[in-house]
Amino acid sequence: MPGKVLIVDDVPTNRVVLKVKLAAACYDVVACSTNEDIVALVRTIRPRLVILNCDGPDAPELEACRALRADEEASAIPIIVTGAPRQNVSPAELRLCALEAGADAFHAKPIDETLLLARIRNLMRMREVSEELRLRGSTSRALGFAEEAEAYERPARIALVAADVATAQRWRDGMEGRLKHRISILDRHAVLNGSTPALQDVYVIASKLRDAGDGLHLMSELRSRRWSRHASILIVTEQEDPAQEAMALDLGAVDLIHEPVDGRELAVRLKTLVARKRESDKLRRRVRDGLKLAVIDPLTGLYNRRYALSHLARIRDRAAETGRSFAVMALDLDRFKQVNDAHGHAAGDAVLCAVAKRLSSNLRSIDMVARIGGEEFLVAMPDTNEEEARAAAQRLCRRIEAEPIPLPLPAKGSVRQTVSIGVAVGGGTAQAPMEGEDGSETLLEAMMDLADRALLSSKAQGRNTVTLGRDAA
């Protein structure tokens, strides 16, 4: 399942219709009314996203939204508010109230299914990134690194990119007095210039600059550049166009608004984007600076054994909370001693670095790769079942063997390296060693032992192969 979604709506028919649509997209859906304690329910079922329906500023669903945002355990869960305003409430007013209550998005009824699914994908994707950063941050704290001191928060830099200066000026005038950030009006050339854009935290880009859709092309360019790939991007569409808006979200937009732009609404959305961007930046700095010297293998640039075992414990803990499985791979270079003996240690180092690079480039960003010994590596894969782990391990064997590794001078030529892999899967419904008398530590130790035994079995079978732990037990 892509994730669990909680629907909160007092109208049974609405709950059923939306549940059917989301279930058809393979989401695990739970539905309830506002009579239930929403915060307690969220803590119990741990949804990946919440959808609330409301019809006015005083709707109990908006109070539930505020309560979720105020709750420490639930505050990071994405929230979508849907609804049709009741009499004497305008759609713009209802949308603004939902955003001010903490909703990540508002979708007016009747709901466009394509756009809603794109929004759900977008929010879940951002949450996965945030959770991974938090997970790595918790590993840093577990290793004893201090939290960084809270620095003075400079005003955020926001760039407005419209088809003409007059339009961008209208956007800025509408937000006058509502934001304490630095707002610049830039054209496409200035945005892609290598100096000015590096300072921008948020880009507000019209979907049409000169031609229809070229604003989305500009967004893709920004996402491909190192200095702007983590910026928040809000796309302004000329009118409500569900197909174009869904495409924008799938291409990397963080939020959407359509013309005519309401300055109050734009200011609220930008405040949320700036806060989210600052939190992500802080988490990235913590991971980068807090761990680099102490837990990085200086030769390969991978994590070392110390970090790997601590991070693996965090993955195990999250698997216990979510009920999802996770995988551990033990990898060893085949006949590596022969490389050192025949070509020297400099050649051996080059082979280790090349293998490390191929491992990292053929796994997901949420997976962890570490060098835990001379020619031994470990891979930890959260949210991974046995079939997925086997496929990933087999892919690694193929990719590492596929291309010869050039050797540095004075050695000549190249070598073709292979690896043997042992795989163990635990948590969820995986048939791997489960928790014993000593608790979760026993589970982790048993999984590592099973992966090691599977690795030895791969070696015994002739090397350059994958063995599952249950087959080696």
Whichever domain contains 367, its CATH number is 3.30.70.270
Asked whether residue 136 is domain-assigned, the answer is no
Of the residues 290, 316, 334, the one at which a domain ends: 290
Q: Which of 297, 426, 424, 422 shows the shortest CA–CA distance to 370?
A: 297
**Tens digit of pLDDT for each residue in 11-45?**
999 999 999 999 999 999 999 988 789 999 999 99
Q: Report whether 447 contacts 433 (CB < 8 A).
A: yes
Reduced to 3 states (helix: H, G, I; strand: E, B; else coil), residue 392 is helix
Say if residue 302 is in the same domain as residue 282. Answer: no
pLDDT more than 90, % of the chain:
69
Helix 113-142 / helix 263-295 crossing angle, nearest 10 deg: 40
Alpha-carbon distance 251 to 237, whole Å? 14
Total of domains in the chain: 3
pLDDT given for residue 291 in this prediction? 57
- Low-confidence spans in the chain with pLDDT less than 70: 1-2, 137, 139-152, 194-198, 287-293, 429-441, 471-473
- DSSP secondary structure string for all residues of 360-373: HHTS-TTSEEEE-S
Query: Domain check: are 305 and 262 in the same one?
Result: no
- Asked if 318 and 456 sit in the same domain, the reply is yes
| pLDDT, position 144 | 64
In a domain, 55, yes or no: yes
- In this structure, the answer to whether residues 309 and 275 fall within a common structural domain is no
Q: Are residues 276 and 370 in the same domain?
A: no
Dist CA 472 CA 469 (whole Å): 5
Residue 464 sits in the same domain as residue 337: yes
pLDDT score for 154 = 83
Burial group, residue 140, by CB count within 10 angstroms (0-12, 13-18, 19+): buried
Residue 167: which CATH number?
3.40.50.2300
Residues 400 and 274 in one domain: no
The neighbouring-strand residues paired with 233 are: 203
- Mean of the per-residue pLDDT values of the chain: 89
Residue 3's pLDDT is 83
C-beta separation of 128 from 256 below 8 A: no
Instruction: Assess whether 17 and 41 both reside in one domain.
Output: yes
End-to-end CA separation in angstroms for the chain: 29
Do 303 and 440 belong to one domain? yes
What is the distance between the alpha carbons of residues 13 and 20, in angstroms, rounded to a whole number? 11
| Whether residue 210 is found in the same domain as residue 230 | yes
**What pLDDT does 427 receive?**
81
228 in Cβ contact with 197 (< 8 Å): yes
Q: What was the pLDDT predicted at 410? A: 86
Domain that residue 261 falls in: 157-290
Element at 50 (helix H, strand E): strand 49-53
Task: Indicate the pTM of the whole model.
Answer: 0.66
Domain C-terminal end among 290, 318, 339: 290
What is the pairing mode between strands 4-8 and 28-32?
parallel
Query: In this predicted structure, what is the pLDDT of residue 161?
Result: 97
Are both 276 and 348 inside the same structural domain? no
Residues 272 and 175 in one domain: yes
